[in-house]
Structure formats: C-alpha cells, structure tokens
Structure 1
Amino acid sequence: MLSGEQPVEIVRPANQTSVRPPVEVSVADMVTLGLALAAHPDDFPAAVKEYECEMCERTCIAGRQSAHVQEILASPDASRKMLAFFQPG
C-alpha cells in the first residue's frame, strides 16, 4: 500500500457456500425438492411451496452477492478491490 492510501475493505458474503458451480446448485435444488416432497407426500402444492421458499432464499443471497460485485466493478478503484476480493482470508 502506498503511503497515505486507505486499506481496501471488502465485505465477503457470510455464506460462501452459496457461490457454487451450476451442477452443485442443481443437485441442491433436487435434494431440497426431494426433502419437501418426502415431508409432504400427500400435499404436492405444500411441497412445492416449501421448495420454492428455500429456492427464493438462495436466489436472494446470490442477487445480493452479484450486486456487491457490481458495486466493486463500478468503483473508481475497482482493480484493487477485485484483487482484494479474490485474495484468501
């Protein structure tokens, strides 16, 4: 860091596991739907509603993460912030 520069602050998502490859997301969706169907074997609409609620929660998390990265990319010091974002820890 150059003298006089402020450290770059990056707020990482609390749930890092929500950033997953598409195959993992698909498997998670299948498991969630399967568990909902098992919990409501005689009530398909209730099972689908339970599944959709969980799916919407995951989608909201992904949307917030996407908005956060978009803010970083649009900032004046985007290159430094993106570098910090991908650093471990």
Structure 2
Amino acid sequence: MRTRAGGEGRVEVCVADSGEGVAAGDLERIFEPFFTTKAHGLGVGLAISRAIVEAHGGRLWAECGAGEGTTFRCAVPVWEAGMGREL
C-alpha cells in the first residue's frame, strides 16, 4: 500500500498484491454489480467502492499484468480543513 500526491489537487492510494492478477477480460467487469469469479460472495464490493469514490469526485480503477498481481488505485480530491462542500 502506498499513497502519493497526485496531480490536479488529488491524493492517490494504491494497494497491490503479488497474486495471479485479474484476467484481462475481467479487468473492467470486476466493477460491475454482481460480477464475481468466486463461489461465495455477492460481487458487489468493488461496485459499491467505486460508487462511493465517484460520489466524492474521485476515481477507482485496477491495473494488472499477466502473473504480476493486481494494483487497485483510488484518486480523490484533496479537501483542506475549512473548505466547504455543497451537496
């Protein structure tokens, strides 16, 4: 896991593993509600996570290489104390 200051007033959080990675055809589908490759679970966790991040003006995505694991990246706007936000 690592964090860094991204461009355009954003902060980026990256979480990586060293597993098999996600199949190329499934990489974008993993964010679809109810998509799963496992026998257990509903397949809604990543869809909910992406919706929350996007509701806060951010972006959540995944990257992987064959046999190199998967890296999930989340970039959200930086909010300083005292900054108001209209909903």
Q: TM-score, normalised by structure 1?
A: 0.31
Report the structure number with the largest CA radius of gyration: 1
- Indicate the structure with greater strand content: 2
TM-score, normalised via structure 2 length:
0.31
